[in-house]
Amino acid sequence: MRKKNSLSKNKLLGIAGLAWMFDAMDVGILSFVIAALAADWGLTPVQMGWIGSVNSIGMAVGALVFGVFADKVGRKKIFMLTLLLFSIAGGLSALTTTLVAFLILRFFVGMGLGGELPVASTLVSESVEAKERGRVVVLLESFWAAGWLISALIAYFIIPAYGWRIALVITALPAFYAIYLRIKLPDSPRFTEKKTQSRTIMQNMKEVWSEKYAKRTLMLWIVWFTVVFSYYGMFLWLPSVMVIKGFSLIKSFEYVLIMTLAQLPGYFSAAWLIEKAGRKFVLITYLLGTAASAFVFGSADTTVALIVSGMFLSFFNLGAWGALYAYSPEQYPTVIRATGSGMAASVGRVGGILGPLLVGSLVTAGYEIGWIFGIFCIAIVIGVLAVLFLGTETKQVELD
């Protein structure tokens, strides 16, 4: 029986992880496409910022809408729908010839992506035993690093030779394979047992802010906002920041590819630590590491300092992301788990809207990159304080 359960867990991790990887490929390639579009369409820094932000607007809407419906109709149905929306819109965005059309399709890509991620982590959380739940969810998140790495490879080898349109098609098509795999995926056993369909969406949304869960919700909303604000502000601008610092477009792609390699050990170390030291320790430690790395990266003026600080930035930031996705579903009972996680992710995406726009506006105004990255350092520290004073440890606690 133990072997069978392990196989089921591994299949679930593989199927959900593949979709996670394809999502990451799309978000990752967007950072390179923004830099390529700036050269191709002659975009201003503010317009470049809007590309990243409209993606996050879609993610905010998707996380909220699909999160609450996942507690109503089931995790699997929403899991399928979000990937389908993301794949179709992503492929169509490669055919656009105007910025407006590109932005509209990126909104729908964001909706699918924003809805899928919290629902996927909820589904996996509810299907794995408490003693290894955190580790498995962080391993699910590690597929994000694989997707980013593939997107960096595509950007380096495909965009300079064949253009950004081909790169977008390449990242969108494989997602249809994940849809095929997901058809036979069972729904969450906890959702099936609870029969949450009898509850209304408004009941679920109100209960997230009830006296019992208000402190947890406040903590999650602060952490999600600060983490997403800093992540999208920094990582969607990485190739462009390298260009601003004087490197060619191809050279910046090469350096970002090197930095991306550090994401995998960041995830794996967090996956190992999260069941040893706990969720709060991993989140606080890795977020502080992110803040320190961001400060050094923003003020670095040599190639070695940029690459090394960029690698540490990838290592700590993505490890923190893994812990956050493991921590979020554990704050709520089954009947409101996807709603609570989705609402927190939606608030976070508001930060994802503001981050890229802030960078674009400040670059246009002539502010130095070091000063801009200092803002992200402060935001991350605020997230650390929220976990420290408002968070409760959920290591190996059985889900309600």
Query: Among 301, 315, 36, which Cα is nearest to 156's?
Result: 36
**Contacting residues for 393 by C-beta, under 8 A, at least 6 apart:** 278, 279, 280
**Cα four-point dihedral sign 209, 65, 25, 353:** negative
Strands (E), the chain: none
Phi, psi of 173 (to 5 degrees): -60, -45
Write the CA distances from 25 to 22, 29, 35, integer angstroms: 5, 6, 16
Please give the model's pTM, rounded to 2 decimal places.
0.83
pLDDT digits (tens, 9 = 90+) for 99-144: 999 999 999 999 998 898 888 888 888 888 878 888 888 888 888 8
Query: Among 235, 232, 251, which Cα is nearest to 243's?
Result: 251
Interior CA angle at 212 toward 210 and 218, to 5°?
A: 70
pLDDT digits (tens, 9 = 90+) for 49-87: 888 788 889 989 999 999 999 888 888 888 888 888 888
Which of 10-24, 266-280, 299-313, 369-383 is the least confident region? 10-24
Alpha carbon distance 45, 127 (integer Å): 44
State the fold for domain 2-390. Answer: Growth Hormone; Chain: A; (1.20.1250)
Q: What is the mean pLDDT of residues 80-97?
A: 88
Q: Write down the pLDDT at residue 194.
A: 62
Percent of the chain with pLDDT over 70: 93
Give CA torsion, residues 158, 160, 166, 169, to 10 deg: 60
Residue that has been written with the tokens 């996996």 in this structure: 124
Query: Among 364, 325, 367, 368, which Cα is nearest to 344's?
Result: 325
Contact 288, 384 (CB under 8 A): yes
Helix axes 2-41, 99-126, angle to 10 degrees: 170
**Contacting residues for 105 by C-beta, under 8 A, at least 6 apart:** 89, 90, 92, 93, 96
Q: Determine the straight-line distance between the first and last CA of the chain, rounded to whole angstroms.
A: 24
Q: Write down the pLDDT at residue 247.
A: 78
**Cα four-point dihedral sign 292, 293, 299, 303:** positive
Q: Write down the pLDDT at residue 3.
A: 43
Interior CA angle at 381 toward 380 and 387, to 5°?
A: 95
Side-chain-side CA neighbours of 157 within 13 Å: the count stands at 7
Query: Among 382, 376, 138, 116, which Cα is nearest to 236's?
Result: 376
Contact 62, 353 (CB under 8 A): no
Please check the confidence at residue 1 and state whether its pLDDT lies above 60. Answer: no
Phi, psi of 82 (to 5 degrees): -65, -40
pLDDT digits (tens, 9 = 90+) for 179-203: 776 677 776 676 666 655 567 889 9
Task: Decide: residue 352, CB within 10 A, 0-12 exposed, 13-18 middle, 19+ buried.
Answer: buried
Alpha carbon distance 206, 213 (integer Å): 10
Query: Among 274, 11, 269, 273, which Cα is nearest to 127's?
Result: 11
Q: Write down the pLDDT at residue 321.
A: 93
Q: Write down the pLDDT at residue 5.
A: 43
Please check the confidence at residue 4 and state whether its pLDDT lies above 50. Answer: no
Alpha carbon distance 116, 63 (integer Å): 7
Phi, psi of 328 (to 5 degrees): -60, -50
